[in-house]
Amino acid sequence: MAALRRAGPLSGPSPAVAAGLLGLLSVALALGGDRGGSRSSSTSSSTSSTPFPWDAVRLPKHVIPLRYHLLIHPNLTTLTFAGTAAIEVTVTRQTSAVILHGKRLRVTKAAIEAGSAGLAQEARVLEHQPFEQVALLAAEPLRAGHNYTLSIQYLANLSESFHGFYKSTYRTREGELRVLAATHFEPTAARMAFPCFDEPAFKARFSVRIRREPKHLALSNMPIVKSVNINPWLVEDHFDTTVKMSTYLVAFIVSDFKSISKITGHGVKISVYTVPDKINQADYALDAAVKLLDFYEDYFGIPYPLPKQDLAAIPDFQSGAMENWGLTTYRESALLYDPEESSASSKLGVTMVIAHELAHQWFGNLVTMEWWNDLWLNEGFAKFMEFVSVSVTHPELRVEDHFLTRCFHAMAVDALNSSHPISTPVEDPAQILEMFDNVSYEKGSCILNMLRDYMTADVFKAGLVQYLQKYSYQNTKTEDLWNSLTNICPTVGTDKNELQGDGFCRRSQQSSSNAHWTKGETLDVRAMMDTWTLQKGFPLVTVTVRGKNVHLQQERYVKGVHSPSSTGYLWHIPLTYITSKSDTVQRFLMTTKADVIILPEEVEWVKFNVDMNGYYIVHYEDDGWDRLINILKENHTVISSNDRASLISNVFQLVTIKKLPISKAFDLTLYLKHERQIMPVLQGMKELIPIYRLMERSNTDGTDKQLKDYIVNLFKDLIDEQSWSDEGSVSERLLRHLLLLFACMRRYQPCVDKAKGYFTEWQKSNGTLSLPADVKTAVYAVGAQTSEGWDFLLSKYKLQSFSVQREDIELALSFSRSKDKLQWLMDQGLRGDIIRTQDLPHIIVYVARNPSGYHLAWMFLKENWEKIVEKFELGSTSVASIVTGVTSQYSTRSQLAQVKEFFSSLEEKSARLRCVQQAVETIEDNIQWMDRNFEKVKAWLQNNRL
């Protein structure tokens, strides 16, 4: 664990920090994980006789920072940095100690100065490592109602992980290794770069100065105001003072990046920064950022408050991107796009990530959650706004085709007992990191989409704008959002127009159900949405049709061996439905356990949750499912492609909780032979392939092969129709990319033959032949099946010119059947020179999916657990993706026992991780699923050969 690292002092001679720095001439750096400050007169460690004066994880509230003056001087040769922080604070009650955050900083001097012209008095420094806190002990008490300046000088090592102020490297085309330093602070790593009040509610202004060599360039949140030459080999850049903001949004980079720039319609300068050799891949991101920033300024009606917005591609980066105000940072693959080489999925991905980070400039940066328990206010919103913005700025990407996928992703973890409410209490850094999950992001965005659909887009937007305007430069809780949205809603029944149905505020269009709305009542957004944010999971609505009466019942959907009872769970569900007689969407707010809707006439079928805009699933009793399966068979286009995808998802979810037999779900899939739209096809594959994988692992007497043949035959016509080119819309190209990879990896001969042909040609040309971007992955994957092909791919992977295709090649290399090669990939990912360590999490998961590699991946995880946690941090999504990805296909009792045994042998913090609970629950579900359904699937396949 990074926080508990017990590193000794650096070996060898102490590196000297560049001369003239902060008056600390050649201070030797010896930084161990558990060193206190140096034992000089001004600092002491909490191991000395003085007890640390504070005993809570959260900081006291009576010392409030107003402004930070930071001077940071990194040395990219010794990989160390020195800093001074002068923090102006105001005190609200008398105190003798100031508590703030610091982690792995060696404080060399600290003083407290009263007022602006007061005398600076030296302060003693204590450190409390378990809480990552530092205390400054004042010689005489700080008085209430007065302002003070805290001055702290310190030294530190550049971080070796991906958070704090960390080292990143890259090679030039000529093979020269270059070093840069960049920051990533969210959620709790600003304290690794400078002492600070590192909680989101302590907003302040920041004045940053950075010292660098003349050959480097420094970037921070604001533009440079002036540069001063300290001496011939040292420049000090002064950046403008920021607006009032949280510590986790501060950023700085010292590098030799190149940039391109444009000015937006509203006059903001946008620049994209990359390593020099890749600046030719920056144009797409620059144009997208200009469009998106203009869109958001118009949509929110609030100007972007900074003069510039930089987007920087960092060679080593753990997550996808980070929304630092005015200096957003990205993994290279999330920002760079090569029109010749990059696939359609890359274009979609880059656009969505930029849209996400720029949405944060309002949701998150301008208005910030008060504490990490409400992280979803940042992330759910940014995720939701990606769709709102990109559907307008880049309509050709058809992002609406993909919204459903994220709700299905969220439901997968939210159905487990180990899930958590969207808003949930957290305290320590590992718990805070665990909040960055599918529930905060995906579920957050899905419930916002449901609310917008319910309130209408205009009313919803007006509420958002009111919220952002009211709380600019402040911090909020979830209820502040609901209150802003409630107040926008005029009272139902006071205005003639509102009674016409779809007026400003939604009311029931069901004349017979008018009793559900009382005239004059305001729609209580908070009462409704609290049911979605304060309880975990989601509802299952059971529909029983009796003549014209539709009986409804809701309960919590829970899968699992030890599933608790769902009593006590109740949601306010904005139901929508269409029927065989009317494709007009009808609406009905269900606020009780059971209810009845009376239709104007009897119908042949009814479909609830239209387009899956609601975050709930639906079960149809009696012959309800048969009727829906029948329309899919006879004419599936009667309902929308989103409705078809949601039926596929729901039917398999209902099998899991024993509401339907597996044969019913397989009956429904038969129609997929005629499906041509991306969402239902993808959903069909997402349900069927994992079942095949479970069977493939379980020595199932050939049933796995029968299932594989069934899946291939289901999509065979669609696969045969694919051209091996980059033609068509983004959705068509994405579908082609996935279908060809699937067909080739499932050894569908026509696909394999064609891919082999392409690979041979490509190899003959020594990699110079240009392959269509969307078929590359399939071609590489087939090529990597031979030892010679694998080695050739690896030789290309190492070249700078193939950097855009790095992830495609990694995937292909992970399909090898050679255990040695798979082991080598993971080992290299950990070493980080040929394969970047940032890519290790997905490489381990790729290897785990490979029948030849799933045991290797588990052994690798066990043997390298400490190193993985040190690099990626306990609680991070990277660690969670490895744990759940490696174990997700396990389905035997011995595998379950191994997983439980390994994690319970670790210290408590690791054993208690939510991803460990998710992994255990998933294996238990897999065991139960196979016990219950294997024979039935086998029988069904024998009776239904395509």
Beta bridge partners of 597: 550
CB-based burial, 716-742: b 16+ in 10 Å, e otherwise? bebbeebebebeeebbbbbbbbbbbbb
Strand-by-strand arrangement of the 606-608 sheet: 582-590, 573-579, 606-608
Integer-rounded Cα radius of gyration of the chain? 29
Q: How far is CA 103 from CA 54, 71, 107, 616, 883, in A?
A: 16, 17, 10, 43, 27
Report the length, in residues, of the chain: 946
- Parallel/antiparallel/unpaired status of strands 63-75 and 80-91: antiparallel
The tokens describing 378, both together, are 């940042």
The rounded distance, in Å, linking the Cα atoms of 148 and 87 is 8
Give CB contacts under 8 A, 24+ apart, made by 747-756: 748/712, 748/716, 748/719, 750/719, 750/720, 751/719, 751/778, 752/782, 754/724, 755/779, 755/781, 755/782, 755/783, 756/782, 756/783
Choose, from 357, 687, 696, 870, the residue flagged as catalytic: 357
CA proximity to 558, closest of 533, 541, 532, 537? 537
SS3 924: helix
Position 316: which residue type? D
The rounded distance, in Å, linking the Cα atoms of 33 and 2 is 9
CA proximity to 815, closest of 774, 841, 761, 778? 778
CB 946 within 8 A of CB 710: yes
User: CB 528: neighbour CB atoms within 10 A?
Assistant: 22
Return the axis-axis angle of helices 914-943 and 662-669, rounded to nearest 10°. Answer: 70
User: CB 428: neighbour CB atoms within 10 A?
Assistant: 16
Residues 6+ away with beta carbon under 8 Å from 340: 770, 773
The rounded distance, in Å, linking the Cα atoms of 161 and 155 is 18
Beta bridge partners of 263: 269
Burial class (CB in 10 A: 0-12, 13-18, 19+), 899: buried
The rounded distance, in Å, linking the Cα atoms of 360 and 282 is 21
SS3 463: helix
Query: Is there a catalytic annotation at residue 687?
Result: no
Residues 6+ away with beta carbon under 8 Å from 763: 783, 789, 792
User: CB 331: neighbour CB atoms within 10 A?
Assistant: 22
Kindly compute the dihedral angle of the four CA atoms of residues 476, 399, 605, 558, in this order, to the nearest 10 degrees: -50
The rounded distance, in Å, linking the Cα atoms of 81 and 661 is 63
Dihedral sign of CA atoms 406, 408, 412, 417 in order: positive
Catalytic residues: 357
